[in-house]
Amino acid sequence: MFIQLGRELNETPPWIPVKALQVAVLGCGSRGRTYARIAASMPDRYQITAAADLVATRCAQVAALAAPGAVRSFTDASSFFQAGKLADVLIISTQDTDHFDHAVTALHLGYDILLEKPAAESIERCEELDALARQLGRRIVLCFVLRYTPFYAKVKSIIDEGLLGKIITIRASEGVEPFHQAHSFVRGHWSNTTASTPMIVAKCSHDADLLCWLSGSAPQTVQSLGSLEWFRAENAPQGAPARCTDGCPSRRECSYDAHRYLDDKRSWLRMVMDGAEDADDARILDFLKTSDWGRCVYRCDNDAVDHQVLSARMKNGVTATLTMTAFDSGRTIEIHGTRASLRGGSPYQQAGTPELWLREHHSGKVQTIPIPTPGKDGYSGHGGGDFGLIDSLDSLFSGPAALPPGLDGLHGHRLAFLAENARREVLATV
């Protein structure tokens, strides 16, 4: 039951929930803790009731966000599920290959789900989740946080207002940034695609989702090229050992030297090392000597691509391209319609707040469009998207404009998986 309020655009929430939405967190790693922290900052709207993780300290960090005793803690997914339905919405933020099983069990228990992307490790399984959610009348929202940034929300509203006319072409790029690529897709959780998901799904499902969401359509034909070019053994500096901590002769000039985790890249460790926030240099050095993040980036077991291009024709005739590369930083978007073109993105920003530029074809006039100020977390956390997603959560699940049952974001996943299939087919023929 909700009370509808008079409201201006971008004010939140659009209604006052009479009862806070109960939220449980399965997988209290980096993402789970981020969402829990944001939800806990809005106690009138969200109540965290349960947390589950294999690592007890991670659960404890989520439990500490609420009043003592308010959060039930579990040491794994099965004991959590055995306890029955403990919240309205379950945040599933375990690793990629666990999502499907965890989501199926949660749907059968009656949960609506906020599911980390990717929904599953194949498009067939994503479709199965969608069908099951529809059959059971449940909603699955994927954590496509970019949709909830002030930047992309503005892009979407400009399209929806018709300011660009009919959309004809979309051109997008994603620069992962070299150290980020090394941290996550060479040394990290998503480096080995058999144990996780392919790069275009693991990382670029955000971008694939944007292409579908912004074009308002689904993919019809998809082509893709890409490979792993740089983070390979033949590119290792001469004499580089297996670990940076084993006395690499190129340590001073190597951008990927793991000793940077002791210095300018220290904040990255919070995502992968328990207690990194309070760890001294000696403990971090020990971690680098034994964990995946101390390995030479040219001597890992990685197969995630470091560059890939995708081109697609959507069912409504829009053509769209995406260029992903490890060797740029930030995203750009260009949308070309029959009335005007719109462009923007972080690489174009010199400093300060993001902007968009709209050029009208008839008059040639270019206007600069400011982006609304983001919520409490500012532009941190995916350009304000982490906050924006949680800030929208109650309305997505239970407000007057709640989503229909099913898996929201399926088209984008289909585009990403089709692109990976296309890339592999081309690779197989050369």
Ligand X SMILES: NC(=O)c1ccc[n+]([C@@H]2O[C@H](COP(=O)([O-])OP(=O)(O)OC[C@H]3O[C@@H](n4cnc5c(N)ncnc54)[C@H](O)[C@@H]3O)[C@@H](O)[C@H]2O)c1
Interface with ligand X by CB under 6 A: which residues?
26-32, 52-55, 58, 76-77, 93-96, 98, 116-117, 143, 145, 189, 202, 271, 382
Give me the least distance between CB of 196 and ligand X, in Å please.
Answer: 7
Give me the least distance between CB of 274 and ligand X, in Å please.
Answer: 9
C-beta closer to ligand X: residue 100 or 256: 100
Give me the least distance between CB of 265 and ligand X, in Å please.
Answer: 16
Give me the least distance between CB of 397 and ligand X, in Å please.
Answer: 17
Instruction: Look at strands 46-52 and 307-314 and give their pairing.
Output: unpaired
Give me the least distance between CB of 106 and ligand X, in Å please.
Answer: 12
C-beta closer to ligand X: residue 54 or 262: 54
C-beta closer to ligand X: residue 76 or 425: 76
Give me the least distance between CB of 277 and ligand X, in Å please.
Answer: 14
What CA–CA distances, in Å, run from 47 to 26, 72, 371, 400?
A: 15, 12, 31, 20
C-beta closer to ligand X: residue 153 or 314: 153
C-beta closer to ligand X: residue 16 or 55: 55
Give me the least distance between CB of 102 and ligand X, in Å please.
Answer: 7
C-beta closer to ligand X: residue 120 or 228: 120
C-beta closer to ligand X: residue 97 or 169: 97
C-beta closer to ligand X: residue 93 or 398: 93
Number of other residues whose CB lies within 10 A of the CB of residue 331:
23
Torsion of the alpha carbons at 205, 89, 94 and 406, rounded to the nearest 10: -40
Q: Which residue is nearest to ligand X, using beta carbons? A: 29
C-beta closer to ligand X: residue 145 or 314: 145
Give me the least distance between CB of 420 and ligand X, in Å please.
Answer: 15
Torsion of the alpha carbons at 76, 93, 323 and 426, rounded to the nearest 10: 40
C-beta closer to ligand X: residue 164 or 279: 279
Buried b (16+ CB within 10 A) or exposed e, 270-304: ebbbeebeebeeeebbebbeebebbbbbbebebbb
Give me the least distance between CB of 243 and ligand X, in Å please.
Answer: 21
Give me the least distance between CB of 218 and ligand X, in Å please.
Answer: 21
